[in-house]
Structure 1
Amino acid sequence: MNAYVCCDEKRRAAVAASTLNGIDYLEVLDADAPTPADRQRILRVHFLKPAPPGLTPANVIITGGDRITGVSADDVSYGADAVVVHLNAYGDFSTYRLQFVAASGSAFNPASLDPQLSFVDFSFKAACSTEFDPARRFAASAPPPRLAPNIDYLAKDYNSFRQLMLDRLSTVAPRWTERNPADLGVALVELFAHVGDLLSYRQDAVATEAYLGTARRRVSVRRHARLVDYFLHEGVNARAFLHFEVDSDVVLKQGAQAYTAMPGQAARLAPGSDALARVPAMGPETFETMEDATLFAAHNRLSFHTFGDGRCRLPAGATSATLKGSLDKLKVGDVLIFQEALNPRTGHSGDADPARRWAVRLTKVTLDQDPIGGSFLTPPIAGATPITRIEWSRDDATPFAFPFSASLTSNGVAKQLDDVTVAFGNIVLADHGASFIDQTLGEVPAPKLFRPPSGADPCTPGEPTPIPARYRPRLRGSPLVHAAPYDPLLPPPSAAATLRTKPEEATPPVALTELRAGQQPAAWKVRRDLLASEAEAADFVVETESDGSTYLRFGDDVHGQRPPQGATFEARYRVGEATRGNVAADAISHVVSADPAIRSVRNPLPAQGGVAPESMEHARRAAPIAFRVQRRAVTAEDYETLAETHPEVLRAAAAFRWTGSWSTVFVTVERRGGAAIDADFANRVRVFLEPYRLAGHDLQVNGPKYVALEIEMRVIAKPDHFRSDIEQALMAVFSSGLTPDGGRGVFSPDKFVFGQAVYLSPLYAVAQAVDGVAAAQVTKFQRRGRPDARALVTGKLDMARLEIARLDNDPDFPERGVFRAIVEGGK
């Protein structure tokens, strides 16, 4: 008999439709037996048709068994739907067979049963559990293992694979000795050797790219570094302030392109013109505006108002000025660029210092009038003249002095020179990179490979699982620009902050649109990674290799959505090499616009901020220790360390206090340059620390407690020096401002920090270094308004934990510290 196991039982259906009968299935009564003694001794045999008559125990033959044999029927009866066979004993765990045969004295005709359905295999222990593995019983009868061929598994290249196969063929087919390259067998051997060489290379590449220290592809290094929370940055493009001159008011939209100088080209290039079509062949650097702007003819060139005084200048560190005229269209947030237009010594524009230029973002604009300003006009008129007062943040404080006017003497004649320094409006922020539209990403392919159905039951295999085809399109344009985020509606508070960018925060400006027939276009969002993307999120990642080639990686329906089959994509992005955008001042001189009112464009200041992509070697060194960076604040020292990473904070001190309901951490900060800790700055520091704050702690930011000093010094001047000169020099040195030689005073704001004591010995050293001082003695050394001689005796004035010594020596603010010098001797 055949021991087949078939899923489609077609013979059963054929027997049911014929005149023959057959066994359908068999039941072994175990727990449902009438009595415990009958357990596993009663069999119920079901037929496809009504049971054949005349069955007796002699017609029942039971074979099989390993430990228990000789099982036979001692009674046969007919039930409602089955033949009940009672046995003399039950069997063991092996397989038994029940078969109906002919017997003397029986009316049963075996020919009425189909030969294939006249028997059935069964087990007495189907309902019994066992801890033994039934497959072990067949281990003894398993064939001996085949001996593996002697193969050199160190073969890894084409020549070794070819020789390995030829040697093996010499063993299994010794009569085949053909070695002609044209022979079919040799050709097949070489073909397989080639395939093996490719697979071996892929295996080696996988092993190489599996580790940060050996990976050769930039994408592999980027992914390894991301696992330890380190982002391999791709650089950031440069930014520049563009100044536009217009004949009338013009609205300039975001994305307007400007180019570096191209000989023979007009300043304004009309869209669609032949001149614009020749631009790519000339290879200029491209910049695009980052905000919508309205350009005003009145803001082309602005003059400073000096209230009639001559030889005026805007000092270093200034944060305010006054402009001529009523500039009612000038508003807070606008950027102005101060530029030396004439050389104050020669009066020629060609001699102007190109380094004396500075950008400021206005924080306050006030329209006002000069009541006698008309008397300073040429010719003079009676009455007031309109003026505009402007202010900017301390971050944009002028780094050097700007002369407004000068006096020149030519041939013995003095001449007043005005507008030495002017201000330029119509300043628009732009960054480096040219927009590019890529419609060649291709269609998402259909799956070509399928996983076979899996399941324990071979008769219900299920459907094969398709393996999604890999869709990793490559962008045609390169290198891809990465830009720092910028919101035109919420610009940075200063012009300096606008030009400061961090490559770690830069992202690729790629706009991806999904196009499918019969559906609306759908936008996909670029992400730094897909770890936080939901399964249905339309996110993608941009990955760049070392050669500049750029690929798009999509999700897998677990982290990010997989692109649907048949969809196509259109990509809009920008290209440009990051460091090439750091062009010099006045390098940009062309703009693309259809408005003829635009006269010219230039960048008064150099473009800056362009940073090249981070090298893989740097990432290999930095990534393994990136996770050691503290990114939470638990202790007071944590808050101090994190606060000092703020660019405007010099020192910080923190302390926990119980405020009645919860703990509050008070962070006391010292601002760089000694600036005041106003509400706006405190809020910025609080926002900066908020991501690191421990849950359950309140956070407050305040300023330090400044301690005004009172110092009196008795100085003996040398005979050949004037007492007034020495006193003036001492007053400048013992202050918080700048000394005549450009240095900083002893009590400059950044020289003293929290709790730092003030010692007498450095004060003596500074006084002795002043030219003309023969001797010096400090006669008073104390806190202002608190007479105490102890510090003078010990030579040290102590400060509390949150106190900072202060001595501005400003006659208008004596409460900020006073220094007195009593100079004797000299002249």
Structure 2
Amino acid sequence: MTGPGMVAATEATVFGIDRDRRRALVAATEDPALDGIDHVEVLSNRPDSPSYVPGAPRQRTLAVHLLRGPVPADLVTGPDGGAVIVLGGIRADSRLNPVGVEWALPATDLTSAAGVPAPVTEADRALVAACVPEEVRARVLIVRTSSPGDRSTYVLRLLGPGGAAAPPGFDVPLAQVPFTFAVDCPADTVRSRPEPVPPVTAASPVLDYLARDYEALRTRLLDRMAVLLPDWTDRSPADIGVTLIELFAYLGDRLSYRQDAVAQEAALSTARRRVSVRRHARLLDYHVHEGCSARTWLAFTTSAEVLLRAGTAVGEGAGPSGLRQAAARDGAQAAAAVFETCAPVVLTPARNRLRLHAWAQADHVLPVGARSAFLAVTSDKDPALRAGDVLVLAELGPSGTLADGDPTHRYAVRLDREPVEHVDALACHGGGAAPQRVLEIHWHRDDALPFPLRVSRPVGDQAVGSAVALANIVLADHGASVHDDAPVPAQVPWEGTYRPFLRRAGVAWAAPAVPGPLNGVPPGQGWESASAALRPDPRRAVAQLELDDGARRWLPRPDLLDSDRTAAHVVVEAEDDRTIRLRFGDGVTGRRPTPGTTMTLRYRLGGGSWGNVGVDTLTELLGGPGGSTLEGVSVTNPLPAAGGLDPQPMAEVRELAPRAFRTRLQAVTSDDYAAIAGADGAVRQAVASSRWTGSWYAQQVVVDPGGTADQRLFDRLAGLLDVRRTAGVDVEFAKAALVPVEIGVVCCLGPGTLRVEAEHRLREALSASVLPDGRRGLFHPDNLGFGSSLYLSDLIAQAMSVPGVVQVHAERFCRAGADDAANRAALARGRLDASHREILCCRSDPDSPETGFVDLIVRGGA
């Protein structure tokens, strides 16, 4: 039992200390008066224990062992309360636990001969005498509790006067001790541990990982079932077990195919589907092209002025309904049948055929490289030629028609300036007619004539014109339009991804057919010359397709990476030769189609190398858009179609895509700037160097153009390097400094060598041109680069390589205009040096002596 004030004292209990260490410290102290509780022993008094005493209570007697002893007299506790309390283990408040202290006495008092006060009995005396050894009884306090308590942990505490934290002379942490009443109680029930049962080892089936198809899987499953169920022998297809086995074999076959297909398409080197190869290449920043439609120039002849609309179809013997017939064919067949015009144009009779004017010369020929000519026009018919118009220059045959003329002597040119009108007064001499009007035309430098064009030929005493210019010229590309079609499925589903496919394969891919301005344009923004129009870039080609959902038009794009969530763009993906699917956006990159809407489709069939048709093949006018007809209009293609290209082979993509990834896309060093500038087709070679401008660094790029350099070349190179240059570095351009050299050589020939032939061969060997046998002359531009030196030994060796030359002596070997002292120094040194911006040249052109020359003296021979 506890007296008043005992509850408050319980709140000062000490927990979380190391009791073993604390006991060692107290035992080692030199103060003999300091004491504490060593441990508490519960006298269980079980009937099966050797110290069992009949009549004594079970698990209610506690033996509190002190460290030193003896037990102080003030710890004696009677029925009216005392200095010993027991606190519930999980109940901090003792009022919630029925375990109380009935009495507490020293063990020596219980075992002495003198009597003890009630309620201590003789059974209690016998129990303490049997359980507590005599040698430790002096420091043992016997405590009787009111109940045995539960299995939780309790705390026995000794209190000082008035409920203090500890009795006088006791260490505060050791004035309390945790214990449990059931420390040595047997378990309520005894459960015997079952004998271990060894696991049943089943025979592992022999797995064949190569059995992946239906038949192999079905056989393996039947074999396994024969082992597991030997009594099941029915192999009828109608048996439910056989049906399930065949179902599992079918599913396994499908899963195996799926696994193989996914692994196959996961790498560029093994992918078989074209869409997989395209996406792998796109990750390497390589764009795969799907082919390109061919283009050609169509020449129209009309009897009256008529507007020719864009999309007018022209075919090869297709008849009046050729457009509808071609649209019903397969894509490959339609590709060889129909071309459609790219832009609207007004056809006039005055432009049907314009005669090239020869200025009364009986045998007049426009030379190779010509960029201008004269046209004879009548006074009442003005062709109204303008800059940007395209003409086809063609030679006539002996009969004066194009039919028997040479088809290889036809060429398209684009006028780069307005025609200039002249008058030929001699054309009307003696006839009394009005003077002949003559238009001087000039065309783009890229359209310079690649062959000599005969303007007139003599017939008797007369000069007969043999060349004309066709001016009703329209650009057309390959493909037949198909209207009012629909993809499969046509309706956008309410759930899931919308990935429809086309009913027909062979959709045409065409590059934009937009003419560029005549004063130069950045690459890829349009064609400048008539010849460039027939060289479409397949990497800029897009599918000739558009969809309509009733609210907007969906236009094709190569990808959706740059499309926002409102852009109505679609990607056309060719999965194979027969399947073309459409991929729409997801609402983040590209617009997502509205569920429930119905798509209508317009596209063109054609494209590929099928469209590279020959001359005068497209002679049938099929009709304009909407079925309109053109009366009194005939058509032909005076030039062959060109630019038609089939889809890029996947083997080529596998080879080129990894190389494109290793292409340098930025310029850091001077060599990088030179390499990027030299990659332009109009630049023969380039060199770059870094220089300090006084405020920042600049890269000076010196280029050696293959032809005539103009400002457009430098603008194009500037735009190319501007996106690749290092930040904070400016780029400057300059032309190469050509340094002419003077060469004086005396060559002696052996007896019997023909001097004229030997001299001709020597001049070829020491020229800047390509020799007839394919070798280059000594001063060819490819042999002399930036900073390249010219060695005298190379000059002598080149001259000695000519048959019949027995001796070569150089008398002059220096830069043009050098004095005799510089010449002697160069001969003694044996070479001519150039700086990193200079290129030595010696073209031996009589019309341009400032470009260097060779003074050749040949002696001896015959």
Q: Structures share a fold, TM > 0.5? A: yes
| Contact 2:293/2:478 (8 A) holds in 1 | yes
Which of 345, 358, 361 aligns to 2:414? It is: 361
1:303 correspondence with 2:359: no
| Contact 2:505/2:577 (8 A) holds in 1 | no
Which of 704, 708, 713 aligns to 2:740? It is: 708
- Identify the residue that residue 469 of structure 2 maps to in structure 1: 423
Count of aligned residue pairs for this structure pair: 661
| Cα gap change, 1:73 to 1:443, in 2 (>3 Å) | farther
**2:263 counterpart SS class:** helix
AA aligned to 1:333 is G
- Identify the residue that residue 542 of structure 1 maps to in structure 2: 572
**What is the 5 A alignment of 1:176-187?**
176-187=232-243
Which of 482, 486, 496 aligns to 1:439? It is: 486
1:565 correspondence with 2:600: no
| Contact 2:305/2:349 (8 A) holds in 1 | yes
| Cα gap change, 1:822 to 1:179, in 2 (>3 Å) | closer
- Identify the residue that residue 329 of structure 1 maps to in structure 2: 384
1-structure distance, mates of 2:411, 2:92: 109
Deviation of 1:634 after TM superposition, in Å, equals: 1.3
CA-to-aligned-CA distance 1:18-61 (integer Å, 9 cap, x gap): xxxxxxxxxxxxxxxxx99999xxxxxxxxxxxxxxxxxxxxxx
1-structure distance, mates of 2:747, 2:229: 112
1:524 correspondence with 2:562: no
| Cα gap change, 1:774 to 1:361, in 2 (>3 Å) | farther
| Cα gap change, 1:166 to 1:741, in 2 (>3 Å) | closer
1:635 correspondence with 2:669: yes
1-structure distance, mates of 2:420, 2:775: 37
| Contact 2:291/2:607 (8 A) holds in 1 | no
Deviation of 1:553 after TM superposition, in Å, equals: 1.6
| Contact 2:350/2:383 (8 A) holds in 1 | no
Deviation of 1:172 after TM superposition, in Å, equals: 6.8
Deviation of 1:348 after TM superposition, in Å, equals: 8.3
1-structure distance, mates of 2:770, 2:396: 27
AA aligned to 2:394 is Q
**What is the 5 A alignment of 1:634-783?**
634-672=668-706, 674-675=707-708, 677-712=709-744, 752-759=784-791, 778-783=810-815
| Contact 1:646/1:688 (8 A) holds in 2 | no
| Contact 1:445/1:469 (8 A) holds in 2 | no
2-structure distance, mates of 1:471, 1:589: 42
1:786 correspondence with 2:818: yes
| Contact 2:358/2:465 (8 A) holds in 1 | no
Q: Which has the larger radius of gyration?
A: 2
| Contact 1:71/1:89 (8 A) holds in 2 | no
CA-to-aligned-CA distance 1:460-518 (integer Å, 9 cap, x gap): xxxxxxxx423211111211222223324654222222222333332222222234xxx
**What is the 5 A alignment of 1:108-147?**
none
Deviation of 1:443 after TM superposition, in Å, equals: 4.5
Which of 296, 319, 342 aligns to 1:290? It is: 342
Deviation of 1:194 after TM superposition, in Å, equals: 2.4
- Identify the residue that residue 398 of structure 1 maps to in structure 2: 449
2-structure distance, mates of 1:173, 1:823: 107
**1:605 counterpart SS class:** coil
1-structure distance, mates of 2:527, 2:364: 31
**2:741 counterpart SS class:** strand
Which of 200, 214, 225 aligns to 1:158? It is: 214
**What is the 5 A alignment of 1:502-517?**
502-515=537-550
Greater alpha carbon shift after TM alignment, 159-168 vs 492-501:
159-168
- Identify the residue that residue 207 of structure 1 maps to in structure 2: 263
TM-score, L = length of structure 1: 0.69
- Identify the residue that residue 128 of structure 1 maps to in structure 2: none
CA-to-aligned-CA distance 1:712-771 (integer Å, 9 cap, x gap): 556789999999999999889877689999999875666643233345566667778999
1-structure distance, mates of 2:765, 2:651: 48
| Contact 2:89/2:152 (8 A) holds in 1 | yes
AA aligned to 1:623 is A
Deviation of 1:552 after TM superposition, in Å, equals: 0.9
| Contact 1:258/1:590 (8 A) holds in 2 | yes
AA aligned to 1:431 is D
Deviation of 1:216 after TM superposition, in Å, equals: 2.1
CA-to-aligned-CA distance 1:427-477 (integer Å, 9 cap, x gap): 221111222233133245546xxxxxxxxxxxxxxxxxxxx4232111112
1:320 correspondence with 2:350: no
AA aligned to 2:610 is R
| Contact 1:319/1:394 (8 A) holds in 2 | yes
TM-score, L = length of structure 2: 0.67
**What is the 5 A alignment of 1:345-384?**
352-370=405-423, 373-377=424-428, 380-381=431-432
1:469 correspondence with 2:503: no
2-structure distance, mates of 1:722, 1:417: 43
1-structure distance, mates of 2:347, 2:301: 8
| Cα gap change, 1:442 to 1:420, in 2 (>3 Å) | same
| Cα gap change, 1:725 to 1:213, in 2 (>3 Å) | closer
> Which stretches in structure 1 are left out of the alignment for 5+ residues?
1-34, 40-66, 77-87, 93-143, 409-413, 448-467, 516-520
AA aligned to 2:444 is S
Deviation of 1:551 after TM superposition, in Å, equals: 0.5
Percent identity over paired residues? 39
| Contact 2:790/2:833 (8 A) holds in 1 | yes
1-structure distance, mates of 2:427, 2:689: 58
| Contact 1:444/1:564 (8 A) holds in 2 | no
| Contact 2:509/2:607 (8 A) holds in 1 | no
AA aligned to 1:479 is G
CA-to-aligned-CA distance 1:275-294 (integer Å, 9 cap, x gap): 65455579652112222223
| Cα gap change, 1:777 to 1:298, in 2 (>3 Å) | farther
1-structure distance, mates of 2:616, 2:771: 35
Greater alpha carbon shift after TM alignment, 754-763 vs 553-562:
754-763
AA aligned to 1:786 is A
> Which stretches in structure 2 are left out of the alignment for 5+ residues?
1-10, 16-87, 98-148, 154-197, 518-525
- Identify the residue that residue 616 of structure 1 maps to in structure 2: 650
Deviation of 1:173 after TM superposition, in Å, equals: 6.3
- Identify the residue that residue 82 of structure 1 maps to in structure 2: none
2-structure distance, mates of 1:238, 1:223: 26
- Identify the residue that residue 481 of structure 1 maps to in structure 2: 508
| Cα gap change, 1:241 to 1:718, in 2 (>3 Å) | farther
**What is the 5 A alignment of 1:29-68?**
none
1-structure distance, mates of 2:306, 2:200: 87
Which of 824, 836, 840 aligns to 1:805? It is: 840
1:191 correspondence with 2:233: no
2-structure distance, mates of 1:751, 1:318: 29
AA aligned to 1:784 is A
Deviation of 1:252 after TM superposition, in Å, equals: 2.0
1-structure distance, mates of 2:512, 2:234: 69
| Contact 1:666/1:700 (8 A) holds in 2 | yes
AA aligned to 1:422 is V
**2:676 counterpart SS class:** helix
**What is the 5 A alignment of 1:451-462?**
none
| Cα gap change, 1:377 to 1:545, in 2 (>3 Å) | farther
CA-to-aligned-CA distance 1:664-703 (integer Å, 9 cap, x gap): 222221111x31x221221122223333222222222221
2-structure distance, mates of 1:469, 1:579: 38
CA-to-aligned-CA distance 1:569-611 (integer Å, 9 cap, x gap): 2232222240101111222112233454553222222111222
2-structure distance, mates of 1:739, 1:384: 49
| Cα gap change, 1:602 to 1:813, in 2 (>3 Å) | same
